[in-house]
């Protein structure tokens, strides 16, 4: 029998502190103070878990990625002692090629820093590519989304240097198109791919006849905090891109000091890089070393891969004669057995929904008459 690879989140946690998401206890619960704040407890629990895992799993590689990314931004924005950005440069020269290219007529020190910044950017994405192999395809989409947002703000600032202040409706075209590309690639493509891969992963590798075990597996693989960090990355990327374009948009002579916008660009850019590392790291950490790419169900179907169909319910079968039983298991793992006294039903050991009769934990087969536990009616078909 072919050996199935162990779930990385199980493997990693087994090597460290045996802590799972469902095992994390909150020091305080907001739900106890106000019931409307109860949903926040699960989010806080996930962030605590992420913090624990980051402290245990991140090392030199992650520090190097964030460090090189931060260096690429700092080198690209450095102007102290140069004055190239502060003066606005010669706006009559532009381009990268030719004797009159603006890139070749900047200050020598500024040109050196720009080249070093480009090298650092290449190193940053190269490290992300090698460190997170399961997220390579999604890294490409997020990189394209990043460029689209930055280019969108440049286009908007090209016609309105003080964008969004004093801008016409047409000036928002670049900003709108850039963010539509960002939303499509980050939410529709990347977020959906991770969520659907997580669903397939849990359904295939964590199936169990006991619904409580299944529910615990879903809790351990929750992606609320990851989704919030992806949304935060999108917001911070917009702030950084706007500040960067805003800092260089004034036409010479520049009368206002644009240092604040440069600082905002660098600060939010560095935070965005750290968030990007987390966005790429957590799905790979959670979904494991199965070697499968993280893709949406639709992408798997186009690629010709087998995609297991979600069953809304499964019928139990007698463990003795394999005849269909009256027990039914729903998609969330809960088992329902019809009541013997009325038309209601309920889970084994709980009260009937109609007459409050306790649903027995054993049922008799209608074919062979054997009395077996309800759990045994699902163990054979779901064994691994």
What percent of the chain stands above pLDDT 90?
Answer: 36
Confidence band of 383 (pLDDT split at 50, 70, 90)? very low
Which of the pair, 306 or 121, is modelled with greater confidence?
121
Q: What angle do CA 368, 371, 376 make, to 5 degrees?
A: 100
Q: What is the mean pLDDT of residues 41-49?
A: 91
Determine phi and psi for 16, rounding to 5 degrees.
Answer: -110, -100
Length of the chain equals 384
Contact present, 237 and 275 (Cβ < 8 Å):
no
Please report the pLDDT score of residue 64 as a whole number. 96
Q: Number of C-alpha atoms within 13 angstroms, CB side, residue 118?
A: 5
CA-wise closest residue to 333 among 241, 199, 209: 209
CA-wise closest residue to 354 among 368, 344, 365, 369: 344
Most confident of 98-107, 111-120, 201-210, 292-301: 111-120
CB atoms within 10 A of CB 11: 12
> Rounded to whole angstroms, how far apart are CA atoms 206 and 218?
9
| pLDDT(341) > 70 | yes
Instruction: Give the pLDDT confidence of 232-243 residue by residue, as tens digits.
Output: 999 999 999 999
Instruction: Give the pLDDT confidence of 148-197 residue by residue, as tens digits.
Output: 999 999 999 888 888 988 888 888 999 999 999 999 999 999 999 999 88
pTM for the model: 0.77
> Rounded to whole angstroms, how far apart are CA atoms 192 and 223?
11
Buried b (16+ CB within 10 A) or exposed e, 117-130: beebbebbbebbee
| pLDDT(81) > 70 | yes
> Rounded to whole angstroms, how far apart are CA atoms 216 and 20?
10
Which of the pair, 168 or 346, is modelled with greater confidence?
168
Which of the pair, 261 or 3, is modelled with greater confidence?
261
> Rounded to whole angstroms, how far apart are CA atoms 56 and 171?
47
| pLDDT(141) > 90 | yes
CA-wise closest residue to 260 among 249, 246, 272: 246
What percent of the chain stands above pLDDT 70?
Answer: 81
Please report the pLDDT score of residue 307 as a whole number. 59
């Amino acid at each position: 029998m072919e050996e199935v690879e162990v779930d990385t989140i199980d493997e990693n946690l087994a090597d460290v502190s045996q802590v799972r998401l469902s095992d994390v206890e909150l020091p305080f619960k907001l739900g106890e103070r106000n019931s409307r704040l109860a949903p926040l407890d699960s989010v806080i629990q996930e962030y605590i878990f992420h913090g624990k895992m980051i402290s245990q799993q991140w090392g030199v590689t992650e520090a190097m990625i964030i460090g090189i990314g931060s260096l690429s931004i700092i080198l690209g924005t450095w102007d102290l002692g140069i004055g190239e950005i502060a003066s606005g440069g010669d706006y009559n020269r532009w381009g990268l090629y030719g004797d009159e290219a603006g890139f070749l007529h900047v200050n020598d020190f500024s040109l050196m820093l720009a080249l070093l910044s480009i090298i650092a950017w290449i190193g940053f994405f190269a490290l992300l590519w090698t460190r997170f192999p399961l997220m390579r395809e999604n890294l490409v989409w997020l990189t394209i989304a990043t460029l689209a947002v930055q280019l969108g703000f440049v286009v908007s600032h090209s016609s309105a240097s003080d964008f969004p202040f004093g801008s016409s409706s047409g000036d928002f075209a670049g900003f709108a198109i850039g963010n539509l590309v960002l939303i499509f690639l980050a939410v529709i493509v990347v977020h959906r791919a991770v969520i659907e891969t997580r669903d397939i992963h849990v359904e295939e590798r964590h199936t169990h006849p006991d619904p409580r075990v299944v529910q615990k597996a879903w809790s351990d693989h929750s992606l609320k905090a990851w989704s919030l960090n992806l949304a935060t990355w999108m917001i911070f990327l917009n702030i950084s891109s706007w500040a960067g374009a805003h800092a260089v948009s004034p036409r010479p002579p520049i009368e206002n000091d644009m240092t604040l916008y440069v600082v905002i660009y660098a600060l939010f850019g560095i935070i965005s890089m750290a968030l990007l590392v987390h966005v790429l790291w957590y799905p790979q950490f959670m979904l494991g070393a199965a070697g499968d790419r993280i893709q949406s169900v639709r992408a798997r179907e186009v690629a010709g891969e087998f995609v297991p169909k979600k069953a809304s319910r499964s019928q139990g079968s007698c463990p003795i004669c394999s005849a269909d039983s009256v027990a039914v298991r729903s998609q969330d793992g809960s088992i329902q057995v019809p009541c013997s006294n009325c038309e209601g039903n309920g889970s084994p050991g709980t009260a009937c929904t109609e007459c409050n009769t306790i649903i027995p934990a054993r049922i008799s087969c209608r074919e062979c008459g054997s009395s077996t536990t309800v759990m045994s009616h699902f163990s054979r078909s779901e064994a691994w």
